[in-house]
Amino acid sequence: MRQTPDVATVAEVIREVSRAEALSRFQSLQAHEISEKSPGDLVTIADLETERALNAALEALLPGSVMVGEEAVADNPGLLDALQSVEDTCWIIDPIDGTINYAHGVPLFATMVALVVRGEVVGGWIYDPVHDAMAMAEKGGGAYLDQAQVRFDQSKELSALSGVLHLGGTDRELVATAARNFDQVGPLLVLHCAGLEYQTMLRGRLHYALYQSTNPWDHAPGLLILEEAGGYTARLDGSPYNVNIINHSSPLLATIGKESWQGLHERLFEFRY
């Protein structure tokens, strides 16, 4: 089996690239350096250059590995096939998560990377270059935020849970159900950056997040980190998250633990199975 690089070594590569390519361009983009991949889906020169630099640096750490970057997949969706391979070792790369924030000068964005070996996510990294904050995990090795190990507090009551609900595109009935039951949970906060929402969960300021869109570059790193911190994630229909499934009819609910997931599933969203 191919030897994978040390998580701290990968973290340092991500830090260096993100600061050199993404942070250096932040709040200084020219109009011609921002475009749309599709209506409302922005991409900037910083996304492209950060992904390019990460491709080179990560391939150097693990020669022969396959790069599955968000921007490359936009041009070549066939790259996603590598995630299902039992032979390929893949890096999933989101060069700038929260591009809309980034493009508008809002300091809420992150660089996210996951390592997939034989179809399994075995490493995850989320880096906030504005605050120089790194979250990372290796499967079976625990979750870390700024070099301190994190374990979630599983004792919180449902009424104390604060969360994130990304309900765009979700069926109206589910939206209405959640709205009807908001008084049973704590406050809501939406950062429009999944990476920072996962980091905020590690800090204990958020306790759950619901996502309709579940692209692997947005969630593979964060879900492994949450799992290693004691969290629990599944779709509302009860099925597990699969990094190979891009489009799924059931939203993904990520939480600080199984008891919290079950409580939210039943009382906020009114699922009875």
For residue 165, pLDDT beyond 90: yes
Q: What is the pLDDT of residues 229-252, one digit of tens each?
A: 999 999 999 999 999 888 888 999
CB 234 within 8 A of CB 261: yes
Threshold 0.75, pTM exceeds: yes
211 φ/ψ angles, rounded to the nearest 5 degrees? -130, 130
DSSP H helical ranges for 104-193: 172-180
For residue 273, pLDDT beyond 80: no
Taking residues 45-64, what's their average pLDDT? 97
Model pLDDT, residue 41: 86
For residue 86, pLDDT beyond 80: no
Name which of 105-109, 165-169, 209-213, 217-221 the model is least confident about: 165-169
Show the domains of the chain with their CATH numbers: 7-150 (3.30.540.10), 158-268 (3.40.190.80)
CB within 8 Å of 145: residues ≥ 6 apart = 133, 134, 135, 199, 202, 203
Model pLDDT, residue 182: 92
